[in-house]
Structure 1
Amino acid sequence: MLELDGVETFYGASQALFGVDLAMAEGEAVALMGRNGMGKTTTIRSIFGLSPLRRGTVRFAGHDISSAKPYRIARLGLGLVPEGRRCFPNLTVAENLLASARRGFWTIKEVHALFPRLAERSGQYANSLSGGEQQMLAVGRALMANPRLIVLDEATEGLAPVIRQEIWKAIAALKQQGQSILVVDKTLSELLPVADRCFVLERGRTVWSGVPAELTGAIQDRYLGV
């Protein structure tokens, strides 16, 4: 479904990715892992055309999207929950959801069933929500586009534990429904139970891939420890 082959990305003259490889099949939940500053968000930006590739290829659902515009990539069925939430602050919860709506399974009713708090706050402006509620809204907005693959970049960072649990519960529910998921997160105890496979980045390179059971303590200490 999604394949990255030797992806190299630059910010001006500074190289950020040095050959990222990743592959996932439809219906999989894949974890993209690594310490801070190792290239995870840049990899996400490269997939969505937000940071153009210098070399390598990105393929999605049989299409080469290496040089495609972000809006064309979204139309192919890629949905993003970006780091930092980025809801439309001066739109209501309902308006935020409708802004990205496309025909399919996910409607406002289905999003409300996944996140009942959004139903309770449907008429509130996004900038009046708590951080956790804004994160729920960001996930719901991405789902309203009915994506074939949803990508979550640090979806639970900085949230209270009870809200984190709600987000992870929702991610687990999406996986059970067969939704393809690519997720970036640092909390292994919550990330690994929902992941079918893992890819680890270090200094802009893919340095390890495998199933969660193979992610031993030694590997974690080498690539993921503080």
Structure 2
Amino acid sequence: MTLLKVAGIETFYGASQALFGVDLDVEEGEVVALMGRNGMGKTTTIRSIYGLTPARAGSITFAGLDITQQQSFRVARLGVGLVPEGRRCFPNLTVHENLVAAARDGKWTLAAVIDLFPRLGERSSQYASTLSGGEQQMLAIARALMTNPRLVILDEATEGLAPVIRKVIWDAIRRLKAEGESILVVDKSMAELLPVADRCFVLEKGRTVWTGRPAGMTPLLQDRYLGV
């Protein structure tokens, strides 16, 4: 079943056009990688899906519902959990308070997310502002899971994190995949991203320029579309 379908969206920041016809889709239980160099439209695509920067043309459907112009809180209620770039945890709330603030009934309980990220249990009473960057990323992912979403979107899943923390995050993503979660993920690390992805979409200058299985993302294509 197609859970998310983005078809030909065009998105603007004021008079400046950022997306020129982006297409992508996510099947239920699939991990999809959204790839591209910096500034090519990945975060804008996610903002459009989530209703933060609505598309002016094209369409976005989620679970068969048109969400193209839907407000972000309604998109969240429909079952889209966002882990935004920069984490954006609530700094003046504790880890526990961050996790329960938007919790909804489902398999992802407080105990379940702490089992996924044991360090959050150790930091339960700490304010989010006192956590390391890696701990904040764990918290952001766990907070999204606590909403028990049908789709998890991770924007820059491991950017700027130490190698030991990156491993924790990728281990968690692999576990989510094994448990059948639907995931749309943005990350620059091909070594970790390609093995976990079922399909890839590559953006260049606000357009979808390549889609396929990870095995088709050859070194030549990586250099063409993702190299610095």
Q: Which of the five TM-score ranges fits, normalised by the shorter chain?
A: over 0.9
Question: How far apart are residue 218 of structure 1 and its match?
Answer: 1.2
What amino acid does structure 2 have at the position aligned with 1:218?
L
Mapping for residues 39-58 of structure 1, pairs under 5 Å: 39-58=41-60
Counterpart-to-counterpart distance in 2, 1:88 and 1:23: 30
Give the equivalent residue in structure 1 for 2:37. 35
Q: Tell me the C-alpha RMSD between the 2 structures.
A: 0.4
What SS does the corresponding residue of 1:150 show, helix, strand or coil?
strand
What SS does the corresponding residue of 1:143 show, helix, strand or coil?
helix
Among residues 203, 206, 221, which one is paired with 1:204 in the alignment?
206
Question: How far apart are residue 193 of structure 1 and its match?
Answer: 0.7
- % identical aligned pairs: 72
Give the equivalent residue in structure 1 for 2:221. 219
Deviations 1:53-87 (A, max 9, x none): 11000000010000111111111100000000000
Mapping for residues 7-46 of structure 1, pairs under 5 Å: 7-46=9-48
Deviations 1:115-156 (A, max 9, x none): 000000100100111110000000000000000000000021
Counterpart-to-counterpart distance in 1, 2:127 and 2:15: 40
Counterpart-to-counterpart distance in 2, 1:111 and 1:72: 24
Counterpart-to-counterpart distance in 1, 2:156 and 2:71: 23
Off by >2 Å, runs of 4+ in structure 1: none
Counterpart-to-counterpart distance in 1, 2:136 and 2:223: 33
Give the equivalent residue in structure 2 for 1:166. 168
Question: How far apart are residue 33 of structure 1 and its match?
Answer: 0.1
Mapping for residues 1-226 of structure 1, pairs under 5 Å: 1-226=3-228
What amino acid does structure 2 have at the position aligned with 1:79?
G
Question: How far apart are residue 52 of structure 1 and its match?
Answer: 1.2
Question: How far apart are residue 217 of structure 1 and its match?
Answer: 1.3
In structure 1, list runs of 5 or more residues that go unmatched: none
Counterpart-to-counterpart distance in 2, 1:100 and 1:178: 22
Deviations 1:145-179 (A, max 9, x none): 00000000002100000000000000000000000
What amino acid does structure 2 have at the position aligned with 1:39?
G
Counterpart-to-counterpart distance in 1, 2:126 and 2:104: 22
Question: How far apart are residue 24 of structure 1 and its match?
Answer: 1.5
In structure 2, list runs of 5 or more residues that go unmatched: none
What amino acid does structure 1 have at the position aligned with 2:176?
L
What SS does the corresponding residue of 2:48 show, helix, strand or coil?
helix
What amino acid does structure 2 have at the position aligned with 1:149?
L
The two structures have a TM-score, normalised by structure 2, of: 0.99
Report how many aligned residue pairs link the two structures.
226
